[in-house]
Amino acid sequence: MALATNIDVKSLDEQLENLHLRYMKKKKELHDEESKVINVRAVAAKEVPQEWKIIREKLVVKRVFARGGFGTVHKGIYDGREVAVKMLEWREDGRTKAEIASLKKDFRQEVSIWHKLDHPNITKCIGATTDTDSASVITEYLSGGTLKAFLIQHRKKKLPLKTVKRLAVDLAKGLSYLHSKNIVHRDVKTENVLLDKDGRVKIADFGVARLEASNLVEMTGYTGTPGYMAPEVLESKPYNRKCDVYSFGICLWEMYCCDMPYPNIKFSELTSAVVYKNLRPEIPKHCPSSLAKVMKQCWDVEPKRRPEMEEVVSMLESINTSNNEASIRSHAPSGCFSFFGSRR
C-alpha cells in the first residue's frame, strides 16, 4: 500500500489553530450571554421587593385590635406615624409546604398590587416585611373601623340618605379607580371597606385582588364572600371587573338598609337561590327610585348589562337628597329584610 509522502504540516497546523480560535471565540460569546441573563435575573430578584420593603428599625408593633383567619392586625408606629400592621404566620394550623408556598405567593401579589395604588378612597399600603415563618403588611391606620361595623351601629335608626349617598360615591370612586388600573378586587364587601376619622370610605384588603386577565378564561374560580359574589363567580364561570359591580350593588343595599343581606338563608342554599332563582335583597318600598335603579342595574344577572363603576359614580352623584326624600326615609319602617323572590 502506498503511503502519502507530501503532507503539508505547516498548513495543517494553521487550520487547527484557526479552528481552536473560532471555538474559543464562540465559547466566550456564550459565556458572556449567560452572564447577562444571570445578571438580569439577579438584579430583578434584588430590586422587585425593594419597592415595598420597609426599614424594620422604624417599625414599632403595639396592641392587637382585630383578628381573623388571615392572622392578626396590630396598631403600630412607623417612621413617626400611626399605622396598622397586618401580621401573618405561615406555619400556623399545620399548613403543608404547598399551602405555605401558595400563601407566600398570594402575599407578594397582594403587596405588589396594593403598594402601587394612590387614591383617596384606597387604604394606603406603606410597605411590608417577609420572613421564613411570617410576614406583615403596614398600612395607614384608620380609626373609623369597618363600614360594616358602622352600619350595624345604625341598624335601628337608619342613615340619612345624604350620608348613604356620600358613602356610596366614595366606594364607587375607589372601585372605578381600581378598574381604571385593570385591577379587579374580587372581594368587595362592607367588611373590607374602612372609614377614616372624617368618615371617608377607603377600600382595603387586596388579598384576592388581581390584574384583570385579557383572556376571561384565566379568571375563574370561587373567589370572594358568599352573599356578595356575582352569579358567574358562584358558578365558577369566567368573569371580569363586572363581578365587583355586582358586589357593589349588594353593598349599596346594605348601606341604605343598615342590615345584612340574606340573614335567613344558609350559605349552602345561597348559591342555588342567587344563580337559579335570581335571589336579590328585597328593596324597601320607601327607597328612592333613583337609588333602587342603581342597585338593580349593578346586580343584573347579565354582566354585560351592569354599568361600569365610572357610570355608577355619575348615577349616584345625580341622586336628589332633598328634604322631601329625607323626610320619606325618616318615617319609613325600621327594619329592612331579605326575602326569596325574583329580583333584579
Cell numbers describing residue 235: 358558578
C-alpha distances (whole Å) from 223 to each of 99, 166, 227 are: 17, 28, 12
The SS3 call for residue 223 is coil
pLDDT of residue 93: 66
Q: Which of 279, 213, 203, 260 is nearest to 240 (CA)?
A: 213
CA-based torsion, 312, 315, 321, 327: positive or negative: negative
Domain boundaries, the chain: 56-140, 147-330
Greatest CA separation for the chain: 123
CB-based contact 321:242 (threshold 8 Å)? no
Domain spanning 147-330: CATH 1.10.510.10 = yes
Model confidence at 183: pLDDT above 50: yes
Residue 207: pLDDT band by 50, 70, 90 thresholds?
low
287: DSSP letter: S
**Bigger pLDDT: 208 or 46?**
208
How far is it, in rounded angstroms, from Cα 239 to Cα 186?
10
**Bigger pLDDT: 207 or 250?**
250
How far is it, in rounded angstroms, from Cα 221 to Cα 239?
9
Angle between helices 242-257 and 289-298 (to 10 degrees): 150
Fold agreement between 56-140 and 147-330 = no
Cell numbers describing residue 69: 383567619
Cell numbers describing residue 231: 352569579
CB-based contact 261:338 (threshold 8 Å)? yes
Q: Which residue has the cell 379607580?
A: 177
pLDDT of residue 216: 42
Model confidence at 44: pLDDT above 80: no
* Contacts of residue 69, Cβ cutoff 8 Å, sequence gap at least 6: none
* pTM confidence score: 0.77
Query: Is 198 an annotated catalytic residue?
Result: no
Q: Which of 201, 203, 234 is nearest to 220 (CA)?
A: 234
Q: Which residue has the cell 355619575?
A: 314
Burial of 173 (0-12, 13-18, 19+ CB in 10 A): buried
Residue 37: pLDDT band by 50, 70, 90 thresholds?
very low
Cβ neighbours around 97 below 10 Å, total: 9
Span 104-154, pLDDT tens digits: 887 887 788 889 899 999 999 999 988 877 888 999 999 999 999 999 999
Span 253-311, pLDDT tens digits: 999 999 999 988 888 899 899 999 999 999 999 999 999 999 999 999 999 999 999 99
- The percentage of the chain sitting over the pLDDT mark of 90, rounded to a whole number, equals 49
pLDDT of residue 193: 96
Residue 71: pLDDT band by 50, 70, 90 thresholds?
confident
Q: Which of 8, 13, 118, 187 is catalytic?
A: 187
Model confidence at 68: pLDDT above 80: no
Please, which contacts does 52-55 make with residues 24 or more away whose CB atoms are closer than 8 Å? 52/111, 52/112, 52/115, 52/125, 52/127, 52/128, 53/127, 53/128, 53/129, 54/78, 54/126, 54/127, 54/128, 54/129, 54/138, 55/79
Highest mean pLDDT among 31-45, 108-122, 168-182: 168-182
CB-based contact 176:117 (threshold 8 Å)? no
Q: 3.30.70.20, 3.65.10.10, 3.30.200.20, 3.40.50.300: which CATH number matches 56-140?
A: 3.30.200.20
Average pLDDT of the chain to the nearest whole number: 81
Model confidence at 5: pLDDT above 70: no
Average pLDDT over residues 317-333: 61
Cα 101 to the center of its chain, rounded Å: 19
